[in-house]
């Protein structure tokens, strides 16, 4: 039950990505922000997703005569979960090294290395406020 490739959908995706990037870049020309509508790119993505999901559901209804949410979500999970896990496994070490808060004391500055250190950070924040 494969849907035919639609190049116009890729074009709309490109427009949505460019709209999101330009909004976050906050480009101004002659004192006017170029993309004030902050939801334009996201709206385009939602429309594309709705169209594709509806197409998948209608195609299954026409082909099999019924629709199963169970099968629908199993196919989504099989398609998305491997990529999600790879991205998480690659990102986790970098996030652990660079994004956890750093603790500053009189004697040393160190990064948070263990869950116990996170507890230490929480106690320091509570007592200093």
Alpha helices per DSSP H over 2-108: 7-25, 40-64, 69-98
d(CA 80, CA 91): 17
Residues 45 and 107 occupy one common structural domain: no
Give the model's pLDDT for residue 36. 72
Domain count within the chain: 2
Cα–Cα distances in angstroms (integers) from residue 2 to residues 60, 69, 88, in the given order? 10, 17, 28
Asked if residue 76 has pLDDT above 80, the reply is: yes
105 found inside a domain: yes
Higher pLDDT, 3 or 17: 17
Label residue 70 by pLDDT band (50, 70, 90): very high
Residues 109 and 89 occupy one common structural domain: no
Range of the domain at 13: 7-98
pTM for this predicted structure:
0.62
Asked if residue 8 has pLDDT above 80, the reply is: yes
Asked if residue 111 has pLDDT above 90, the reply is: no
Q: What confidence tens digit (pLDDT) does each residue in 16-60 have? A: 998 888 888 887 778 877 777 778 889 999 999 999 999 999 999
User: What integer best gives the mean pLDDT of the chain?
Assistant: 80
Give the model's pLDDT for residue 49. 93
Name 35's Cβ contacts closer than 8 Å, sequence gap at least 6. 19, 22, 23, 27
26 found inside a domain: yes
Residues 16 and 76 occupy one common structural domain: yes
d(CA 98, CA 24): 23
If you ran DSSP here, which 8-state letter would residue 28 be given?
E
84 found inside a domain: yes
Give the model's pLDDT for residue 82. 96
């Amino acid at each position: 039950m494969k849907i035919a490739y639609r190049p116009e959908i890729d074009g709309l995706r490109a427009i949505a990505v460019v709209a999101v990037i330009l909004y976050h870049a906050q480009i101004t020309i002659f004192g006017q922000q170029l993309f004030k509508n902050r939801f334009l790119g996201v709206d385009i993505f939602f429309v594309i997703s709705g169209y594709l999901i509806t197409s998948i559901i209608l195609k299954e209804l026409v082909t099999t005569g019924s629709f199963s949410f169970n099968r629908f979500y199993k196919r989504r999970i099989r398609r998305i979960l491997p990529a999600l896990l790879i991205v998480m496994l690659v990102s986790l070490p970098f996030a652990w090294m660079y994004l956890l808060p750093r603790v500053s004391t009189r004697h040393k500055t160190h990064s948070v290395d263990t869950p116990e250190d996170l507890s230490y950070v929480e106690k320091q924040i509570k007592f200093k406020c």
